[in-house]
Amino acid sequence: MADALAVGARRALPGAAVLQCPIADGGDGLLDAVLAPAALRERLSVTGPLGEPVSGELGWVDPETAIFESATACGIALLKPEQLDPLRATTRGVGELVWEAVERGAKTVVVGLGGSATVDGGTGAARGLGWEFLDAAGASLPEGGGSLAQLAEFDGGWGIAARVIALADVTTPLVGSRGAAPVFGPQKGAGPEGVKLLSRGLERLAELMARHGRGDLAHCPGVVPRAVSARVSCASPRPSSPGERTGCWSGWGSTRHSPRPSS
């Protein structure tokens, strides 16, 4: 894209000096825009949007700062148009990539949120970090945003000693008429009834988050349940001030969490 714009600028203004600076919105292409050509980039097998393994990519800014695109774990580009189904699609692979980054020594994990095929409120990513989402009978809910309307409680979670930063270019709140489900659901394959079900699920998730002390998340600008829909779901230390993070903190660390089992 930058090359094409530069060609057009030089054609229109032959004497112009053109400085190319590729940028990204947090989705596909983030690593190409941010990382130096010689930066370390790893391919790791993680859970894809519909449960099948995919090759997620983890990049390194320095030995303690990892960065990845959630789209490599749960992106629209990983599915054919007829496969798009946000009622079932999960962000679990995002949580798995966060865990793998911390296991490799990351103290900061930067997660780009664009281009996902999901509207699960980040619950899949939380599952990738050991959280459980249960119905009223105590049974685990199926993956995806379609089951969240039956959410009665969440529990568990593995502690990680890292700061997670979510990158997004939108200010969409979790719920409401301009919330995540009506705004993003249709582009990810949800029909009118599907959008209603996704909305009820995210409202239920917000209710439970409020019960655990995070009532601000329902209408906080930028809480977009797409991939870490960020809200990258994790049990890492909460930032001390709003200036320390991009978007709203997920709050998954507000309830108890235990170390991940060794096997």
Least confident of 31-35, 81-85, 96-100: 31-35
Model pTM score: 0.81
One-letter amino acid at 45 equals: S
Of the candidates 134, 22, 1, 119, which has an alpha carbon nearest to the alpha carbon of residue 70? 119
**CA dihedral over 195, 201, 206, 209, signed as positive or negative:** negative
pLDDT tens-digit map of 119-144: 999 999 999 999 999 999 999 999 99
Of the candidates 127, 37, 135, which has an alpha carbon nearest to the alpha carbon of residue 74? 127
- Give the chain's mean pLDDT: 84
Structural domains of the chain, ranges and CATH numbers in brackets:
23-254 (3.90.1510.10)
Kindly indicate the confidence band of residue 98, based on its pLDDT and cuts at 50, 70 and 90. Answer: very high
CA distance 237 to 235: 7
